[in-house]
Amino acid sequence: MLNAQNSFMIKLEENITEQNEKRFEMGKINRTYIYIIDTLKALFELGLIILLIYLIKNNVITVAIAVALFNYKSGIMTLVMQHISSYLELAKNFNISCDRVFSILDNKDFAKEKFGNEHLEDINGNFEFKNVTFGYNENKKVLDNINFKIHSGELVGFVGKSGVGKTTIFNLLCKMYSIQSGEILIENININELDEDSIRGNMTIISQNPYIFNLSIRDNLKLVKEDLTDEEMYNACKIACLDKFIEGLPNKYDTIVGEAGVILSGGQKQRLAIARAFVQKTKIILFDEATSSLDNETQSEIQKAISNLKNEYTILIIAHRLSTIVNCNKIMIVEEGKISDSGTHEELINRNCTYQVLCQTEMMK
């Protein structure tokens, strides 16, 4: 369907060439190894012959015993070489494993997450970005000296073109990455001072492609709350507009959804992830394009449910469909790694050209 046969054939030829080069390198190493072993074997035999001649000459052993010992050495040599080869192979594998383990432990390939020691049992949902700068590599900034403040109970939307840093804001708030400069404050405490549970135990992120585990619907929900009651489960699924679909399944809430939720559609996965967030009941809920696969009717119902929760939870929504965020307390426009403007839907539609263009583009779809 991609009409990419030529590209794949070129890549295949490159891989075959690389494989042959690696095989040749392995052959050279193997030949060197065999040469060394054979040389050592010949030297051992020479030394043994000299020793046997010396022992016969001094009447320590007879010729018959010397012949028997010389013939027996073949078995000994084979056994010794097998053990040496085995130990060399073990040593090689051990070194490879050590390199892989220490590359993680020493932060060579993967930056290790670092958390503080201060613990917050419960948070109200207030946080702030102060002069935050971040880039996934040193050459390009995704966020450039960004500033904004979110108050408890607010429903806030983030809009902007793809790649301007909206999802990055969520990733930094969850401390998936560490910022390069500036501060992120949760309840006026620097995020670097808080322990992992204070951050991730108080916020839930629902992504565009949520991962659903190869468990039952019930167990997928119990992952975030072990003592989940049936009533809590039913209410969460009802809010997420998933209850009618589940009731139509043969095993209802005990239905196994398969690896990555294979039996579910994209919209059903998103609704299950939304139900999982409602079960978790964290003070901060982050929706990253979490309703993109829903039909208009279901999206409208879930949006009403989210709006009803806005005074109880701090809710942030990234959306390309502006209908998702028109009822937000505040909408922030992200451009070139900065918050270029913020306000309600009515305020922005009257004064901001970027927001006007986004609205007109959606109306034309």
Residue 353 tokens, joined: 């050209």
How far is the C-alpha of 66 from the C-alpha of 68, rounded, in Å?
5
CA angle 337, 147, 127 (to 5 degrees): 120
Q: Which residue has the tokens 């398969």?
A: 258
Q: Is 340 exposed, middle or buried (0-12, 13-18, 19+ CB in 10 A)?
A: middle
Quickly name the fold that domain 127-364 has. Rossmann fold (3.40.50)
Parallel, antiparallel or unpaired: strands 181-186 and 127-134: antiparallel
Kindly list the domain boundaries of the chain, sorted by start residue.
Answer: 5-105, 127-364
- Residue that the structure tokens 């939307």 belong to: 157
For the chain, the distance separating the N- and C-terminal CA atoms, rounded to the nearest angstrom, is: 26
Task: Report strand pairing: 330-335 vs 338-343.
Answer: antiparallel
For 69, 79, 205, 278, the CA distances from 261, given in Å and listed in that order, are 69, 53, 18, 19
Q: What is the pTM assigned to this prediction? A: 0.65
**How far is residue 167 from each of residues 17, 158, 188, 208, 314, measured CA to CA in Å?**
40, 9, 22, 10, 17
* Tens digit of each residue's pLDDT, the chain (365 residues): 656 677 778 888 999 999 999 888 888 888 888 888 788 888 888 888 888 888 888 888 888 888 887 777 666 666 776 777 777 777 777 877 887 787 777 665 666 677 888 888 778 888 899 998 988 877 788 888 888 888 888 888 888 887 788 888 888 888 888 888 889 998 889 988 888 888 888 888 887 777 888 888 888 888 888 888 889 888 888 888 888 888 888 889 899 988 878 888 877 888 888 888 888 878 888 888 766 666 677 677 777 767 767 677 888 888 777 777 777 888 888 888 888 888 888 888 888 887 787 777 765 55
Residues 362/321, Cβ–Cβ less than 8 Å: yes
Question: Two tokens at 144?
Answer: 């450039």
Note whether 126 and 296 are within 8 A (CB).
no
